[in-house]
Amino acid sequence: MNASLLSRGHLSSEAIDLLLLAALSPPEANEAKQHLDGCDECRGRWTELNADKQRFEQFVFARTLPKVEARVAESRAGFFERFKLRILIPVLSVAAAAGVVASMGPGTQTEDDVYVGIKGSADASLEVFAVRGAGGGVFPVTPGVTLQPKDRIGFMVNPAVAKYLMVASRDGAGVFSVYHPFGAQQSQPVAPAKVKVELPTKVELDATLGAERVVAVLSDEPVTAQQVEAALEADPANPKLPGVRFISTEFIKVAP
């Protein structure tokens, strides 16, 4: 925040919001807190906004995030959506019939012994699909499929009854990334769907070549990116975390 925190002797609404969001620099945060200590009016507004924050985080966020994502997906059909009805569904239907989607493919799904958190999650699944080039067709990413840098991939996930979801990756150089929610530090609430939903995230692949493993991380409690990274580091093909279900698939990235 570049503007002065104080305006006509009080903290602006933005300054208080940024303080609550922990988005002020340490010096700014200290200045704002010092002002709050000596200003009844601003402290009253901070208390009111903090109560709103608690209400939002406890009761509103988990319920509305999937709605926002769905509305956004509807409001502007992306490249996958434009192809979905004509190409993707038939392609995936064929792929599913052949038993090649991640949830069904042999060796691609981790039914680890430590998974104890989610009952009735047998239908949970992860499907990865891709588009190559401008106007290219959508094709399913199945085990052993080769992709190329700049291919764009998307995800369809059935979270079943899981309450939290993350899609993460470990690429050919061993670099870990969170694809959905992109760059998040922990898994995010997801509405139990029991049907496949297309995630809004679309990722353009970088130039790192080799085998890249993509995992859907399903759980009843939030899981940190650090935990998932460690699990993938320890055993990329069969990651394990207590109370977590991993569904994974792998593709090979090659030069064009």
Partner 1 sequence: MELGVHSNERVSTLYRKFGTAIYSRCRRLLKDDALAEDATQEVFVRVHKHIESAPDDATALAWIYRISTNYCLNQIRDRSRQAEPTAPDEMPEHGDNASPEVDLLDRGTAMKLIRRAPEKLQEVALLYYVDGLEQEQVASTLGISRRTVINRLQEFVDRSKKFVNREGAS
Interface residues with partner 1 (CB under 8 A)?
1, 3, 7-8, 10-14, 17-18, 20-21, 23, 45, 49, 52-53, 55-57, 60-61, 64-65, 67-69, 71-73, 75-76, 78, 152, 171, 175, 177, 180-184, 188, 200-208
CA–CA dist 50, 120 (Å, integer): 37
In the complex, least distance from residue 106 CB atom to partner 1, rounded to whole angstroms: 29
Q: Position of tokens 């691609």?
A: 108
* 55/86 with CB nearer partner 1: 55
Among candidate residues 134, 129, 137, 133, the one with its CA nearest the CA of residue 157: 129
In the complex, least distance from residue 50 CB atom to partner 1, rounded to whole angstroms: 9
In the complex, least distance from residue 96 CB atom to partner 1, rounded to whole angstroms: 24
Among candidate residues 220, 7, 188, the one with its CA nearest the CA of residue 121: 220
* 188/219 with CB nearer partner 1: 188
In the complex, least distance from residue 108 CB atom to partner 1, rounded to whole angstroms: 22
CA–CA dist 100, 144 (Å, integer): 10
- Residue 63 amino acid letter: R
Q: Is 64 helix (H, G, I), strand (E, B) or coil?
A: helix
139 - beta bridge partners?
A: 130
* 81/220 with CB nearer partner 1: 81
CA–CA dist 246, 166 (Å, integer): 10
* 33/71 with CB nearer partner 1: 71
* 1/145 with CB nearer partner 1: 1
What tokens were used for 229?
């990274």
Q: Is 15 helix (H, G, I), strand (E, B) or coil?
A: helix
* 94/173 with CB nearer partner 1: 173
In the complex, least distance from residue 121 CB atom to partner 1, rounded to whole angstroms: 24
* 204/221 with CB nearer partner 1: 204
**C-alpha angle with apex 226: 224 to 253, nearest 5 degrees?**
110
In the complex, least distance from residue 44 CB atom to partner 1, rounded to whole angstroms: 10
CA–CA dist 69, 83 (Å, integer): 19
109 - beta bridge partners?
A: 247
125 - beta bridge partners?
A: 158
